[in-house]
Amino acid sequence: MKLFSNVKRIVVKIGTNVLTTENNRLDVSVIEHIVEQINWLVKEKNKEVIIVTSGAIAAGMQILGWKKRPKKLNMLQAAASVGQSRLMRTYERLFREEGLNVGQILLTRDVLTTPERRLYAKSTLLTLLKYKVIPIINENDSVAVEEIKFGDNDILSSFVVDLVDADLLIILSDVDGIFTDDPKKNKGKIIREVKKIEKLEKMINIGSPSKKGIGGIKSKIEAAKFVTSKNKCCVILNGKKPNCIKKLMKGEKIGTIFYP
């Protein structure tokens, strides 16, 4: 039996390095291919999909002509404000071509940790799903400050899985999965299955967060820890590789799977 055939609701997190090219431009062909696969999940496989997307700051930097990621909060927030609308326009256009509507939701940590606001967020998401709209979530970077921040979308996506009681979190990254060593520096071996995260943490060289995004392997492992503690699966896949989501759903051994 295919591992994920009983999965109904899936959160797909798309990282900045997947969405952008080497020279920091939105990689529309990659986004288009991911959109096609999500369309396949929804229409052919009858799944419900929620996207958590990064890339607002990177897209904003591109539009504003900033070559280096700024350090100052006001600059990051300005870039996010400019980039978020470009990002949504891109998704909106590509999903419309597939015949699907999208809805934007910008969250901060306090929304998901305040019981009443959490309920409203959940209800909005479930209503979007009911009407076959693809919710596209990002952190509300242009107003989020330290106290109310998730800080990175790996963690945000794991909270979303819990919020909507999804069955699976797929983290699309620019590496093939978790390696025994930092895959961008040394040749480690890929780890296909993780049943005990504590054991994994002792085994690997975690590497450093990327320049364009924030996350890195550490936050992915933290997200996986949270999701698996809620009795759900988490998979890390290389989102730049063709048909990665389809291959996973068809039962091919790709990426790193974390079991509950």
Q: Which residues bind ligand GLU (CB under 6 A)?
A: 16, 54-58, 80, 138-139, 141, 152-153, 213-215
Token pair, residue 198, equals 């504590």
Task: Give ∠ CA 164-167-169 in degrees, rounded to 5.
Answer: 90
User: Tokens in use for 20?
Assistant: 């952008």
Comparing CB distances to ligand GLU, the nearer of 163 and 214 is: 214
Q: What's the min distance (Å) between Cβ of 150 and ligand GLU?
A: 8
Sort strands 190-191 and 178-179 into parallel, antiparallel or unpaired. antiparallel
By beta-carbon proximity to ligand GLU, the closer residue of 128 and 136 is: 136
Minimum CB–partner distance for residue 84 and ligand GLU (Å): 7
- Tokens for 226? 């949270």
Nearest approach in angstroms of CB 195 to ligand GLU is 26
Residue whose C-alpha is closest to residue 239's, from 177, 153, 160? 177
Q: Closest CB to ligand GLU among 24 and 138? A: 138
- What is the H or E stretch that residue 198 is in? helix 197-203
Tokens standing for residue 33 = 């291919």
Nearest C-alpha neighbor of 107 from the set 40, 11, 33: 11
Q: Minimum Å distance from CB 139 to ligand GLU?
A: 4
Nearest approach in angstroms of CB 52 to ligand GLU is 9
Q: Which is nearer to ligand GLU, 7 or 76 (CB)?
A: 76
Rounded to whole angstroms, how far apart are CA atoms 49 and 69?
Answer: 30
DSSP string across 31-66: HHHHHHHHHHHHHTS--EEEEEE--HHHHHHHHHT-
Supply φ then ψ for residue 108, to 5 degrees. -125, 165
Question: Helix, strand, or coil here: 153?
Answer: helix
Token pair, residue 95, equals 């999903």
Question: Please, which residue, 19 or 249, has the CB nearer to ligand GLU?
Answer: 19
Which tokens belong to 110? 């306090």
Instruction: Name the maximum alpha-carbon separation found in the chain.
Output: 51
Closer CB to ligand GLU, residue 49 or residue 80?
Answer: 80
Q: To the nearest whole angstrom, how small is the minimum distance from the Cβ of residue 210 to ligand GLU? A: 8
Between 37 and 153, name the residue whose CB sits nearer to ligand GLU: 153
Considering the complex, what minimum distance in angstroms separates the CB of residue 209 from ligand GLU?
9
